[in-house]
């Protein structure tokens, strides 16, 4: 799935939050968007997912304009909170519910996604029995189960301790390498953006603009 952001502008009242943003996300990109707090990263992500509507310009997904408000088809917004009353496996199965699968197929596929994030042994556990890092992995597995054309992730690791954060960064990089998923990932941390991104978009604030987009020269492998 490919996204074209063409001259997008967004205002909140008299505040211009995003000014003339143009950016492309190509199939298989891991695009990280970084910049200081308040520069408009979350707003940009909300425009891509269709949760907000731009005041100027347009966003095309595979050539079709995003017509918010409402999640654009194929776009999955990474949600971190698990359903506390469901086991890890049943949380991942939630992502498979839109598909017409038999219960057994659904459970098998959910196990596959749990394996993919290294949580194959935790299927019968409930969220309160798991660490913060384990819960994040299961939430990622649930997003992958939706089979996203683009996975949109907003500042996912900010509240975690540094060891867990590094482990999840490595996990995220490895999932991307193994699946070829298209990802748009916002983070305030330039280090995180540079570590994860196959392309890194750097923003400045007041108003939010993209000042540079760079490609990573060397692959993670
Ligand atoms: N619904 C809203 N109404 C009014 N102003 C808003 C709204 N949402 C965001 N803003 C303002 O828009 C600007 C950009 O916010 P946004 O959350 O997109 O930035 P950000 O780069 O994601 O910040 P952070 O890194 O702190 O999450 C900020 O000044 C914020 O206060």
Q: Which tokens belong to 166?
A: 């590094």
- Nearest Cα to Cα of residue 81 among 131, 135, 122, 134: 135
**What would the pLDDT profile of 62-111 be if each residue is shown by its tens digit?**
898 888 777 777 889 998 899 999 999 999 999 999 889 999 999 999 99
Distance from the alpha carbon of residue 217 to the mean position of ligand 1, in angstroms = 31
**What would the pLDDT profile of 52-63 be if each residue is shown by its tens digit?**
999 999 999 989
In CATH, 1-74+184-216 is 3.90.1150.10: no
Beta bridge mates, 13: none
Q: Which tokens belong to 217?
A: 């020269």
User: Sign of the CA dihedral 26, 27, 32, 35?
Assistant: positive
Binding pocket residue ranges, ligand 1, CB within 6 Å: 12, 15, 17, 37-43, 155, 188
**What would the pLDDT profile of 119-135 be if each residue is shown by its tens digit?**
999 999 999 999 999 99
Answer yes or no: are the C-beta atoms of 136 and 175 closer than 8 Å.
no
Question: What are the two backbone dihedrals, phi and then psi, of residue 48, each rounded to the nearest 5 degrees?
Answer: -65, -40
Distance from the alpha carbon of residue 182 to the mean position of ligand 1, in angstroms = 24
Separation CA 57–CA 66 (nearest Å): 11
Mean pLDDT across the chain: 92
Beta bridge mates, 202: 34, 212
pLDDT of residue 221 exceeding 50: no
Distance from the alpha carbon of residue 194 to the mean position of ligand 1, in angstroms = 23
pLDDT of residue 183 exceeding 50: yes
pLDDT of residue 113 exceeding 70: yes
Provide the ipTM. 0.95
Protein residue closest via CA to atom 10 of ligand 1: 12
Q: What is the pLDDT of residue 218?
A: 54
Q: How would DSSP label each residue in 75-121? A: EEE---PPPTTS-HHHHHHHTTTTS---HHHHHHHHHHHHHHTT-GG
Distance from the alpha carbon of residue 17 to the mean position of ligand 1, in angstroms = 7
Protein residue closest via CA to atom 27 of ligand 1: 37
Question: Using N-to-C axis directions, what is the helix angle for 103-116 and 162-179, rounded to 10°?
Answer: 120
């Amino acid at each position: 799935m490919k996204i074209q952001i063409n001259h997008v502008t967004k205002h909140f009242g008299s505040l211009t939050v995003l000014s003339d943003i143009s950016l492309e996300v190509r199939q298989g990109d891991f695009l990280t968007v970084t910049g200081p707090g308040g520069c408009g990263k979350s707003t940009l992500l909300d425009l891509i997912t269709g949760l907000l509507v731009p005041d100027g310009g347009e966003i095309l997904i595979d050539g079709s304009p995003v017509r918010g408000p409402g999640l654009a088809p194929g776009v999955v917004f990474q949600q971190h909170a698990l359903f506390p009353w469901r086991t890890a496996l049943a949380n991942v199965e939630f992502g498979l519910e839109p598909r017409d699968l038999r219960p057994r197929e659904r459970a098998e596929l959910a196990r596959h996604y749990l394996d993919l994030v290294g949580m194959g042994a935790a299927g019968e556990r409930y969220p309160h029995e798991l660490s913060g890092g384990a819960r994040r992995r299961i939430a990622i597995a649930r997003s992958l189960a939706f089979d996203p054309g683009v996975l949109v992730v907003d500042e996912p690791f900010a509240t975690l301790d540094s060891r867990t954060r590094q482990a999840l960064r490595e996990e995220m990089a490895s999932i991307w390498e193994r699946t070829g998923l298209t990802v748009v990932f916002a983070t305030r941390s330039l280090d995180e953006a540079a570590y994860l991104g196959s392309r890194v978009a750097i923003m400045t604030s007041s108003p939010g603009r993209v000042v540079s987009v760079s490609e990573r020269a060397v692959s993670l492998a």
